[in-house]
Chain A
Amino acid sequence: KQEVTQIPAALSVPEGENLVLNCSFTDSAIYNLQWFRQDPGKGLTSLLLIQSSQREQTSGRLNASLDKSSGRSTLYIAASQPGDSATYLCAVMEGGQAGTALIFGKGTTLSVSS
Chain B
Amino acid sequence: DTGVSQDPRHKITKRGQNVTFRCDPISEHNRLYWYRQTLGQGPEFLTYFQNEAQLEKSRLLSDRFSAERPKGSFSTLEIQRTEQGDSAMYLCASSPVPHEQYFGPGTRLTVT
Contacts and interface: CB of A to CB of B under 8 A. Distances in A.
A43 B99 contact: no
Contacts of B33: 101-102
Contacts of B55: 100
A100 B40 contact: no
Given A4-B42, A107-B42, A51 B98 contact: yes
Contacts of A89: 42-43
Interface string A36-52: 10000111111001010
A112 B6 CA distance: 30
A106 B39 CA distance: 10
Nearest to A48: B100
A98 B99 CA distance: 8
B99 A31 contact: yes
B42 to A, nearest CB: 3
Given A41-B108, A91-B42, A104-B44, A99 B50 contact: yes
B72 interface: no
Closest 7 CB pairs of A and B: A104-B42, A101-B45, A44-B103, A43-B105, A49-B100, A43-B103, A43-B106
